[in-house]
A and B are shown apart, each in its own frame.
Chain A
Amino acid sequence: MKEWIFTTDHKRVGILYLIGSMAAFAVAGIMALLIRAEQFNPGLGVASEPTQYNTWLYFHGAAMILGFLIPGLTGWAANYLIPLMIGAKDVAFPRLNALSVWLFWMGIVVALLTFVIPDPPDIMWTGYPPYSVKTAGNTAFYVFTVHLIGFSSILGAVNFITTIIYMRAPGMGWKQLNVFVWSLLTGLIIQLIFVPVLAAAVTLLLFDKYLGTHFFDASAGGDTLLYQNLFWFYSHPAVYVIFLPAMGLLFEIVSTMSKNRPFNYNALVAGMIGIVFISGEVWVHHLFTSGMPDWIRVAQMVTTLMISVPVGIMVMSLWGTIYKGSITYNTAMYYGASCFLLLLLGGLTGIPLAMAPLDLHIHGTSFVHAHFHFIMGIFAAFTVFGSVYFYFPKMTGKMCNETLGKLSFWLNFIGVNVTFWPLFYIGIAFGMPRRYYDYSRIPEATPYHHIATYGAIMVGLGITLMLVNWVYSAIKGPKAPENPWRSASLEWTHAVSPPPHGNFASPPTVSSDWTPYNYK
């Protein structure tokens, strides 16, 4: 116990991140089931009053993004994999690393206090004023959660950017990095630039609510739109902090399981760098209906559509990676393969949201829910789940149960489609609004909500089996061979499973023709 609490070993820090983010996912997942139960029928159902529903939804959104996806990708995956992939003993600042994981855990604890404090936050994960200032709910807990997790991720970003730049194994050039290393580097650069903006925005919210300032109070010369701009100035880039590492993990799985190099590596890297540059010029697509000046709405419709260029190049590389591959299917690759389709579904349904005039009808509807769940809630989450299966032998030295893994994959994959396709449809056809516990005005949406709820139950079952499988296999699983997926990457070829403190028996060096994708 003590050696875990005081650990500075990047792998243990990584596993602490994984446990924390899966805990956040589990609780937020239970909230999702409650949300779906409430929306099963119009009118008040399982919630005792509307504010309780709003609190569930607040926790669900905030915890899924701030507590699960970002820490899962830039905490667990980064910590566990980066030093191993680049052949380093540890990260550049191991103590800072320990501090960031504990800040993250404190953030999770503060978020969980939602369920015990009187008047918990009911402000959705976006926390827009004036409501977040006027509400009786404790907005401060939202602000502190963002502060703690934000600070944690700034430290993490500094740490990993330094690690990647300075601690690569002798001989390892920029074109020999794992795709995941590049994706994390670019994602963290975005994180480092934009998180302070979010921290500032929520701090001003705190001042407005508790210290009587008027930054967002129009009646005293402030501006409510200022918050929305600051919030999305961070939170749009944040989707790339999720998307880029998720793509990176996907490439690791898909390349290894196809025994094929990532197609057009240079263009792929250029695409990721392109996203860094474009990420800060598109936030107004979240404000298409917010009364922003028309010129900027049109301008950012164009910039938003242009995201399809770097993303499209990454997609070409992903597709090219399976071309003439030699694919074997384990549970990880089931998730990897499904991500091809999820990426298309989530990505292409973003196009009408990028088109300002089309957005005017769907901006506030469940179409948006379905869209971002497919790209973040499902695509990105599936890359995390797939990667846990993929690196399970590395982390535990044991094999995960494949039968149970595949069974729970199918429950999850079918379940998410059953859940979110109806939400697409009722968003367009009936204008089913977001964040509604009651939809008495739209009774024709009821059967679709029924289907969506059944789908969510399926996913709940799938996730439960998945977690049971992980815990059971970590304890009881059969011993794993050294390199079960026949990867060519350093973490598999040069380190035992699980790697000891310090990772490598002797520090690896690589030759100029080495790449992590030279399969033999």
Chain B
Amino acid sequence: MNIGPALRILGAVVLTAVPAFASGGGAEIADPAAGWDELWKHFLIDVTLIGGVFGAVALYWLFKYRADNINQVGTGPTITRAQMFGWALIPAFIFMADDFYLAANGWTLWNTYRTVPKDALEVKVTGSMWQWNFEYANGVNSDVLKVQAGRPVVLRMTSDDVAHAFFLPKYRVTEDLMPGRITYLWFYPKEAGKTYVTCVQFCGASHADMSADVEALPAEQFNNWLASAGAKPAPDASGGQPAPAASGEQPGGASGKAL
């Protein structure tokens, strides 16, 4: 997944896909992945500036202040008390200002990452050596994570054995899974498409092969899949009712309903 196309896709999504889903005026869901790309650009500008200035100065001085003869000594100024504080405190404040700028932007995006939108599709994820299991509210179990395009997805995750980590490069998000704890992450598959999840917490011999497909399907297709897949492992009592997670039995309604 190259970052260029990803950026373009995201740009296209913002410009075109949003109105398509905006029938209820509800396309206000902030997308963490887009936020990530945006903040990454800020970061790149920030460090290119700092790194460029300091790097250029270093190279220039390392070149310029070469000794003409071997017995020469440096003539760096000795500084006064005021200069001593100045040269410490002024840079300190500049660095601190930059820190706060980055931290403030980071915090905002952090909140986006950690605030699950209403009406997200909830899937239970269990990691184990070395596979992923996805369980839907109607009891369907799958080794492929199928989700509905245009609807946020929240994953409630735990592990059966050792620590794993759920990494979705396309959606710019990672969170660990551990036995005895339930962690969560959410992402926003705006468009239909295929990608993958891969494990990034070392978990033994097949750590590198602990990967699964992630498919975002158009609403109708997704709902059909969920209903028919559910037929196999017995769509038990919990199938329809629980409001928060059970996705639509009404295919038509779901896509328009984006809250």
Contact = CB atoms under 8 A, between A and B. Distances in A.
B106 A356 contact: yes
Interface stretch (B13-21, B84-92, B251-259): B84-92
A351 B43 contact: yes
A319 B54 contact: yes
Contacts of A431: 1, 167, 169, 198
Interface in A293-319: 294, 297-298, 301-302, 305-306, 308-309, 312-313, 315-316, 319
Contacts of B24: none
A166 interface: no
A441 B196 contact: yes
B202 A124 contact: yes
A340 B208 contact: no
A219 B84 contact: no
B175 interface: yes
Nearest to A127: B202
A223 B178 CA distance: 9
Chain A CB within 10 Å — which of B76, B173, B196 has the most?
B76
Contacts of B51: 344-345, 348
A337 B88 contact: no
Nearest to B115: A294
B11 to A, nearest CB: 17
B172 A315 contact: no
Contacts of A301: 103, 106-107, 110
A122 B35 contact: no
Given A319-B57, A357-B32, A431-B1, A363 B200 contact: yes
Contacts of B112: 357
Interface residues of A, number: 91
Given A358-B106, A428-B3, A49 B180 contact: no
Contact of A260 (B76, B88, B172, B196): B76
A509 interface: no
A264 B92 CA distance: 14
Contacts of B238: none
Given A50-B206, A361-B174, A260 B74 contact: yes
A332 to B, nearest CB: 14
Contacts of B35: 357
Contacts of A348: 47, 50-51
6 contacts: A267-B87, A313-B91, A325-B74, A328-B70, A361-B172, A440-B209
Interface of A: 49-51, 54, 122-124, 126, 128-131, 134-135, 218-219, 222-225, 258-261, 263-264, 266-267, 270-271, 289-291, 294, 297-298, 301-302, 305-306, 308-309, 312-313, 315-316, 319-329, 337, 340-341, 344-345, 348-349, 351-352, 355-358, 360-361, 363-365, 428-431, 433-441, 444, 519-520
Which 3 residue pairs of A and B lie closest in terms of their CB atoms, listed nearest first?
A218-B180, A364-B200, A431-B169
Given A51-B205, A327-B65, A355-B39, 8 more contacts: A131-B163, A218-B178, A258-B74, A291-B176, A302-B99, A325-B74, A430-B1, A441-B196
